[in-house]
Structure 1
Amino acid sequence: MLTMTHTTFYRKYRSQSFNEMQGQQHVIQTIQNAVKFDRLAHAYIFSGPRGTGKTSTARILAKMLNVTPDHTIENCPICIKISKSLCVDVIEIDAASNTGVDNIRDLNEKIHYSPIECKYKIYIIDEAHMLSSGAFNALLKTMEEPPKFTLFILATTEPHKIPITIHSRCQHLQFKNISQEDIIKQLQMIADNEKLSIDTDSLSIIARNSSGCMRDAISLLDQAYSFKGNTITKDDVVFMLGSSLDHQLYKLIQNIFLKKETLVIQQLEEYFANGINVTQLIIDTTRVLRQMLLIKCNLKNRVTLDENTIEKLSIITNKITLNDIHLFISTLADIDSELRWFSDPELLIQIKLLTFINKHKKSNEVIPITHQTPQVQNQPQTTQKTPITQQTQKVINPPHKNTAPSNKVTQNSIPAQKIAVEQTTPKSNQSATPDNLKNCWLTVIDKVKKEHHALYAILRNSNIIGSDNETIYIQLKQDFKFFREKLNESNYKEFINKELSALLNKPMTFSLDLPTKNPNNNITENKSSTTPKQSITVNQIIEMFDGTII
């Protein structure tokens, strides 16, 4: 029969006195002075992040108030009972489980009884923000005028959820995240007591990934001990956390800033093949970028890295700007916020990083055909074109004779405004006009968004650039080889072709490449005159001259 003989490290090495605590010196000094000079308040709020010592401090305070004169905290019988949660006068209440007003009413009835074996009766209410509003109201009068032998300690990670009426009756001590140095010191002490062989670099990685939470750091050390036994290496810790080695991470960041798309994708694929977690990769990359930001701002004294690493990162930061670092961090923040909604996080980070890499590459920007307008200075003057003054006169004073209206305006009729309005499709094929094709394509994208999130991320900014009887030709905003490979996958291609065929009532396919023009090709290029820029320009001219289009 299996028995639970192992005590987890975070329970075994919970601080039993202020001498054993790491960090929180401002809280320790406040409490010690309050006890020493008899300035103790009747109620306290201990607030701060998880695993920073709030409950441990409350227990230590209970020991300090109830230690017998001829003993110390370490050997006092009452203090030992408090450490083991066996003391009847130190009552710990889990507010997450006892949220109702009835629980507080029961407390109010028992609070007036004198302590049995201690000098003070201590009520430690953990996760106090979980109490209901009725429970807080029932506690108000008791906390305002409690018996002289009673002390309340409310521990919480969310002090803003505690009513202001409770705050005004308590002293508020705020706990901070514990520094990496203090966490490493505590981990090293535990490793020495447990006879673990682990180097400082491994402890640094654990401390870094604990986010200032001592309990998380000790739990990670316990996990590494279960994973590898008494001998723990740096590679073991990295593999356990699903993290990446620093030199690999620096290389990835360098390739991203140098805009080497192929190397970035290759390195990401290697990461994912080795089981590196996407969320952990974002956390690690953000951590390095923060250090690079400090280096770029000449704040090397605030950088928590060794000189050799700072020198390596300085080589990268000398080639980039502060804005580049800012945009990279913003991109990672966007990825982190979208991860929960995206079915393929590995694809998401690849798409977002490729977009960031190519964001400022003007040479790779693709201008859609619908936005191309002829330049005024490159157009030869011909006698067949209508001068601007005559065209303007027609707009101002339209003729009153009964003539058939014309819906064609030449591209050079108003060259200064770059207006192009022309017919693009024969009337006999109304179902395949550019506008209809555009609407069909937008409908397809909407369906893709509902069923294939990864495909939607690629197609959402695509445009139709041409069509023939059997094929629609589209253009991607970022025409990456990686995107093309994804679109050519059979399941994606069949889905898009099926939706196009259903909307146009005939077999249709899509293609990313417009074929070379020759007499046998019947390609209709999409040069729609209804682009937002052109329509706005026409409307401005009509409004300026109070005219109409004839």
Structure 2
Amino acid sequence: MGYQALYRVWRPQKFVDLVGQKMITQTLQNAIMTKQTSHAYLFTGPRGTGKTSAAKIFAKVINCHNQKDGEPCNECATCQAITEGRLNDVIEIDAASNNSVDEIRDIRDKVKYAPTQADYKVYIIDEVHMLSTGAFNALLKTLEEPPSNVVFILATTEPHKIPATIISRTQRFDFKRITNDDLIARMQYILTEKKFEYEERALRVVAKASAGGMRDALSILDQVLSFGNDVVTLENALLVTGSVKHEQLNQYLKLIFAGDTAAALQTLQEVMAEGKDANRLVEDVIDYCRDLLLYQASPNIVEQNSLLDIDENFKTLAEQTDINSLYKAIDILNEQQQNMRFSTHADIYLEVLTVKLTQLTKKVEINAPTELSSASQEEITELKMQVKELKKVVDNLQKNPEQRVAPVKEKKVPVRKKNSTVIDLKKVYPILADATRNDLIKLKDIWPDLMNMLSVTQRAIMNVSKPVAASAKGVIVSFDYDFLFEKADGNTVLKDSLTQGLERLIGQDYKMVFMPKEKWPEIRKKYLTEHQDVSEKDQQSDSKDKEEVEDPQITAAKQFFGENFNQIVKIKED
């Protein structure tokens, strides 16, 4: 026989080999030893946790004449036949492909026949939640009262899809995710038995990527062995799983919480250039933020985690990162992770995510204490002077209680006003005068293509912008954040790139005007108000002109009839 995957070669053949399911294996062994086995079982839990393996072991034990302490001997003809899948009395059914009423009726018809070789006939129905409603109804009566020598074992990863009437007729066992320590211990045992070299840190990466499933862990380990010529190294494990080194995560988050957008984007670009998976990167960043949060709350919890290397860089970052920033970062990461699941441009989401995260806090130097601005120093100096004066007053009052002291005048500290953004209306109004909905729709349709023509840094700035008004020769672009508007408005290279990109896509030159998102409604309303006033004045002047220019015949008629003109004469327009 050719090469077999590790998860097939090392599939558990005894209950003791089932990793991380001690409660379930102990219960089944006790039931077998005391002859209190049930006629139907339901095994539920995540994939790769041992449900089908436990069902096969159970089928071997109840049919093995040499079983000891609830374990099969795995040497008799019955045990070997079940292991090799050639015993007719142990029937495995995949409900995903055999889910119709006819298949279940066939089982119901054959279940009344006695086993041919073994003591018990065992039906193992995998992915039982895939059965149709009619198939479940056909199974009900048989499942409730099968013959005494028949056992049903149902396995599923989605128990909520199984009717309650089926669940109530079975003994349910919930298989839990296997802990990382158990996964690592099992992989170490297998690699030692096969005499393969390995790095323990590589096994940690594999265990983390498997998400609690032994089958997934062994499949990934198989890939790492194939990639590294039967040697398991950390580098190979990171490449196969798409995970990111802890050092890279630490550096990335260090720049994030320092507010260094440019350096954080550069680090992100380097990580993605190594071929890392975007979704795996976000997941790794979330895990790292979670570890930082837990370390601040209780260092012992994180130090006991075998998947994380607690070094000085990690401790320094945990001590100097604000806990509120971690809360906000995790919220943003979770939200962006949901958006990325249905996107074909994950790299763009990562760049926008990086920009958002760097704006959580103002720039804070992680390796050095924060320097106070000159204005803050002046305020502190003023406060110190006031405190000294107040101390003198208190000392005088204590010495001479009857002495009246003039109150100390408070010196007002000048408050610095924020620079208000000024928009040049001379550039905006001409575009609004000729703006049409069709021009705006055309710009919005090609906007994603325009963004893809920009560099990484330019795309990071423009990804929070959108066109809000457009004419045949100009476009107004609004920005969600003021600081990005300021960066874009003063960046001539960026404007040139946008103009050249639009010329390539549409074939004509566009004038671009940037403005913050908050300013756009105000400017639009002001333009509409002024434009409406002008049109009303034009209408009034037109009506006056019409009144002034009157037909000569009407004027002559008014003179002839005098005051009775309106009663006698009616004017009709041709």
TM-score norm. by structure 1 comes to: 0.73
Alignment of 1:118-267 (within 5 A): 118-267=118-267
Counterparts in 2 of 1:307 and 1:184: CA distance versus 1, 3 Å: closer
User: Which structure would you say has the larger Rg?
Assistant: 2
Give the structure 2 partner of residue 309 of structure 1.
310
* Amino acid in the other structure paired with 2:430: A
Distance 2:429 2:39 in 1: 81
Alignment of 1:7-18 (within 5 A): 7-18=4-15
Shift of residue 325 of structure 1? 1.6
Give yes or no for the alignment of 1:42 onto 2:44: no
Counterparts in 2 of 1:300 and 1:489: CA distance versus 1, 3 Å: farther
Give the structure 2 partner of residue 114 of structure 1.
114
Distance 1:203 1:144 in 2: 45
Give the structure 2 partner of residue 53 of structure 1.
50
Alignment of 1:264-275 (within 5 A): 264-275=264-275
Alignment of 1:99-110 (within 5 A): 99-110=99-110
Contact map agreement 2:224 2:237 (CA 8 A) in 1? yes
Distance 1:268 1:203 in 2: 25
Contact map agreement 1:92 1:123 (CA 8 A) in 2? yes
432-441 or 219-228, which deviates more: 432-441
Shift of residue 205 of structure 1? 1.2
* Amino acid in the other structure paired with 2:502: F
Counterparts in 2 of 1:263 and 1:495: CA distance versus 1, 3 Å: same
Distance 1:42 1:186 in 2: 32
Contact map agreement 2:440 2:467 (CA 8 A) in 1? no
Q: Structure 1: which 5+ runs fail to align?
A: 364-423, 502-506, 515-524, 535-550
Distance 2:428 2:192 in 1: 82
210-219 or 302-311, which deviates more: 302-311
Shift of residue 526 of structure 1? 9.6
Distance 2:180 2:492 in 1: 44
Distance 1:286 1:253 in 2: 11
Q: Structure 2: which 5+ runs fail to align?
A: 365-423, 530-574
Alignment of 1:241-390 (within 5 A): 241-298=241-298, 300-301=300-301, 303=303, 304-305=305-306, 309=310, 311-361=312-362
Please identify which structure carries the higher helix content.
2
Counterparts in 2 of 1:266 and 1:160: CA distance versus 1, 3 Å: same
Shift of residue 446 of structure 1? 3.5
Distance 2:472 2:117 in 1: 93
320-329 or 178-187, which deviates more: 320-329
* Amino acid in the other structure paired with 2:352: I
Give the structure 1 partner of residue 430 of structure 2.
432
Distance 2:496 2:425 in 1: 32
Counterparts in 2 of 1:339 and 1:37: CA distance versus 1, 3 Å: same
Secondary structure of the structure 1 residue equivalent to 2:310: helix
Give the structure 1 partner of residue 380 of structure 2.
none
Distance 1:241 1:459 in 2: 29
Give yes or no for the alignment of 1:494 onto 2:496: no
Shift of residue 322 of structure 1? 3.0
Secondary structure of the structure 2 residue equivalent to 1:209: helix
Secondary structure of the structure 2 residue equivalent to 1:45: strand
Contact map agreement 1:342 1:453 (CA 8 A) in 2? no
Distance 1:345 1:307 in 2: 27
Shift of residue 178 of structure 1? 0.3
Counterparts in 2 of 1:221 and 1:430: CA distance versus 1, 3 Å: closer
Shift of residue 249 of structure 1? 1.3
Contact map agreement 2:465 2:477 (CA 8 A) in 1? no
Contact map agreement 1:335 1:352 (CA 8 A) in 2? yes
Contact map agreement 1:191 1:197 (CA 8 A) in 2? yes
- Amino-acid identity (%): 32
* Amino acid in the other structure paired with 1:432: P
Give the structure 1 partner of residue 79 of structure 2.
79
Counterparts in 2 of 1:86 and 1:492: CA distance versus 1, 3 Å: farther
Distance 2:37 2:471 in 1: 85
Q: Which of 438, 444, 447 does residue 445 from structure 2 map onto? A: 447
Deviations 1:201-252 (A, max 9, x none): 1111111111111001101111111111232321222222222221121111
Q: CA RMSD in A?
A: 3.8
Give the structure 2 partner of residue 21 of structure 1.
18
Counterparts in 2 of 1:113 and 1:489: CA distance versus 1, 3 Å: farther
Counterparts in 2 of 1:15 and 1:486: CA distance versus 1, 3 Å: farther
Distance 1:305 1:24 in 2: 20
Secondary structure of the structure 2 residue equivalent to 1:243: coil
Distance 2:363 2:443 in 1: 26
Contact map agreement 2:293 2:326 (CA 8 A) in 1? yes
Shift of residue 197 of structure 1? 0.3
Counterparts in 2 of 1:94 and 1:509: CA distance versus 1, 3 Å: same
Shift of residue 342 of structure 1? 3.0
Shift of residue 14 of structure 1? 0.1
Secondary structure of the structure 1 residue equivalent to 2:75: coil
Secondary structure of the structure 1 residue equivalent to 2:262: helix
Give the structure 2 partner of residue 509 of structure 1.
511
Shift of residue 47 of structure 1? 0.5
Shift of residue 323 of structure 1? 2.7
Secondary structure of the structure 2 residue equivalent to 1:275: coil
Distance 1:480 1:80 in 2: 75
Deviations 1:287-339 (A, max 9, x none): 21221121122263255158961653332222233332222222222222222
